[in-house]
Chains A and B, each alone.
Chain A
Amino acid sequence: MPDLKLSQETLPQGVCYIEAKGFLDAHTFEEMEQLINSVFRQNCFRLIVKLEELQYISSAGAGVFVGAIGRAKENGGDIVFLKPSPPVKEVFDLLGLSAIFQFASSRDEAQGCFS
């Protein structure tokens, strides 16, 4: 069954690097939500989220980031998307998120957003 695979690592400058692969939809969004909430509980509010191998996102998945960006910024952080796949970028565009979130095409560029 198509699912969501998440991995996480901590980078310098207190940046949390999350990679999402698979499908972020109404069935799997809670996994991403739980991961981001646990990262926030560890006082890490600087997130890089790699979406290159995320094949699909629905509004439930996008909603996780919509719900999280405010809290990240209130705590001096942000959410930077790294290389979203074309289907994911299309949904971000439709929702107007492409004008709100930061995007990066490389890991270095994403980390540079927090310098």
Chain B
Amino acid sequence: MTVRRTLSIANDSSELSTVRTIVKELLDDSPFDQTWQNKIIVAVDEALANVVEHAYEGDRGVIEILLELAPDRLQVVIRDQGVKFDPGSRLRSEIDIHEHIRKGLKGGLGMFLMQQIMDEVRFTQDAQHCVNELVMIKRLPEPEPQIQSESD
């Protein structure tokens, strides 16, 4: 059975906690353990925080969030109609945290966390409708194999 939740929020950082709560509620009924639930909430929050911060360049805007918990995966889609976004080199699988500290860099860690936590992170743009779309997928853990006992 697939469970879906859809919500729209304003590009206001005060909305982030509301979304985290909704993601947690969805994950509470999933096979993800508490550690992975916490991490997935972080990944969604990081993605959303970036859109809130950058998509509309200070103007008001709406962000659409689609959550889908299927038997084999969690899919998170975040859509905005802000400025065209190309992650480019910001989507990185490694960071040099020592360099961040050396340079006092506070930002740029969110994309890294998203990549670390989720199995897939994809950015696309629908130029015709001016929509940026971020899709993140986390596959559900495989069920433990059943061990058949031998009869004597």
A97 CA to B97 CA in the complex, in Å?
8
**B45 on the A face (CB < 8 A):** yes
- In contact, A69 and B101 (Cβ under 8 angstroms): yes
A60 CA to B107 CA in the complex, in Å?
7
Given contacts A27-B16, A58-B45, A67-B104, contact A95 B109 (CB under 8 A): yes
Interface size on A, residues (CB 8 A): 27
- In contact, B113 and A95 (Cβ under 8 angstroms): yes
Contact with A along B76-110 (1 / 0, CB 8 A): 00000000000000000001011011111111011
Q: Is the interface of B mostly helix, strand, loop or mixed?
A: helix
A87 CA to B98 CA in the complex, in Å?
22
Pick 6 A–B contacts, CB within 8 A, sort by A: A1-B14, A25-B17, A58-B45, A58-B110, A66-B97, A71-B104
Given contacts A25-B16, A58-B42, A70-B102, contact A94 B113 (CB under 8 A): yes
Nearest B residue to A63 by beta-carbon distance? B106
Q: Is the interface of A mostly helix, strand, loop or mixed?
A: helix
| Chain B contacts to A: CB under 8 angstroms | 13-14, 16-17, 20, 35, 38-39, 41-42, 45-46, 49, 52-53, 95, 97-98, 100-107, 109-110, 112-113, 116-117
Whole-angstrom distance between the Cβ of A25 and the nearest chain B Cβ = 6
Residues of A within 8 A of B46 (CB): 58-59
Given contacts A26-B13, A26-B16, A95-B109, contact A100 B38 (CB under 8 A): no
A31 CA to B105 CA in the complex, in Å?
18
Residues of B within 8 A of A2 (CB): 17
